[in-house]
Amino acid sequence: MDLFRQKTVKWLKGNWVLLVISVSGLVLRLLGLINIRLAGDNVIFWSAARSIVETGKLPLLGPSASVNANFHLGPAYYYFLSIPYFLGSGNFNFAIVFSAVINSFSIPLLYLVSRSWFSKGDSLKITALFAFSSYIVSVQSFPWNPYFLPFLIILSLYFIVKINEKKYFFFPLLCMVWGISIQLHATALFLLPVFAYLLPLKKISVKQYLLGLTAFLIVNSSWLYVNLTTNFSQMKEAILIFSSGPTGNCTFSYWLLNHGHGERCFAYLRNTLFAFRFMTMSLFNSENMILVFSAMIITILYFIKAQMSEKKILLVWLGIPIGLFLFYSSGIYLHYFLILTPLPFFLLVKLLAKLNKFGRKGILLGKAIIILTIILNIVGYIYSLQFIRG
């Protein structure tokens, strides 16, 4: 017992900053209880959870896509939501708490992932920026199927780190989590080439590949069953999403001032801007177009000037999804780019590290930017609690 206590005290002394960040991040996410109400899509989702708990009938399909009501994801989110429904006897507040707690595990997980690529100090900065990001907090406090993607992506990255440490039994778990991610939002498919790049593919055994494929097929079995028994109806609907649809007002000057969620104009530029809009929202809680264009220019300059060894992973992670989005012209929404989590925080810390070459003043300036960014995000999120979400 004394040995356990000594190890606990030692761990707390070495990780107290991470503990404070994690607990604070959890508290912020739990504040969603103040302004989140059962409304919108969640009325349907909560009803599905009730049906699972009260009747025991398991749905074979899940939520429909926002751009095509005939295309449905897998039912994993309904099963997940049935847990807080059961625990809370139908009280939706339990779903908010459940979401906040589960999603908060992504905070220490992100630190563990970051430590494989960054120093301890930079990893703590990345973790703090993520934990206190107003946009990420608002996402991780709200029970909605796409909003669990950041947690699952970070969990997947953790498994990838372990696989690179020759712990190959994590590969089937990675396949299972990725299979669930696709059911939460189809954009998770775009992560396949990114994950493949990060994995030591040649070192994974045939046995592990077979186990991984089995895990993936099992978690998606109901969705696959529906396709096989309905002449591939869901796959056909998915293909329709990528076909060109009707456009809106496509006058470029009007579009620059008024473009937003659900639009169908200037897809190539629109999709790329949405990727950088996701970055500015994640980092600065802002969709200001000047800031978005500035973020895009600064990022491009970084990739041009940085050495390949430094930028390779970040370039692949940003470039592949954006490249795949160039084939998508249907309506677009900001949450489609949650698959880039936690890339914005990696990039900002990498960029601020460039200030170190200016000596002590540069180091202090970098720390000041981190602290100011965190403070503005916390204030912004607390201010947003006065507005009802549902």
Given this model, what pLDDT does residue 3 score? 61
Residues 306-345 pLDDT 10s? 888 888 899 999 999 999 988 888 778 899 999 999 999 9
**Span 51-59, average pLDDT:** 94
What is the pLDDT at residue 275? 94
Residue at 291 is within a domain: yes
User: Residue 295's domain spans which residues?
Assistant: 242-358
Identify the pLDDT of residue 46. 96
**Whether the Cβ atoms of residue 74 and residue 223 lie closer than 8 Å to each other:** yes
> What is residue 289's predicted lDDT score, i.e. its pLDDT?
86
In a domain, 290, yes or no: yes
Name the residue with higher pLDDT: 165 or 238.
165
Q: Is residue 293 part of a domain?
A: yes
Under the banding of pLDDT at 50, 70 and 90, the label for residue 138 is: very high
Residue 17 lies in a domain: no
pLDDT band at 7 (very low <50, low <70, confident <90, very high): low
Percent of the chain at pLDDT exceeding 90 = 76
The total of structural domains in the chain comes to 1
- 236, part of any domain: no
Question: Considering the domain boundaries, does residue 363 fall inside one?
Answer: no
For residue 178, count other CB atoms closer than 10 A to its CB: 23
Residue 171: its pLDDT value, please? 98
Answer whether residue 331 is part of any domain. yes
pLDDT at 328: 84
Which pLDDT tens digit goes with each residue over 234-278? 988 888 877 655 555 677 766 666 666 766 777 788 889 899 999
Residue 315 lies in a domain: yes
Q: What pLDDT was estimated at residue 8? A: 61
Mean pLDDT (whole number) for 285-298: 92
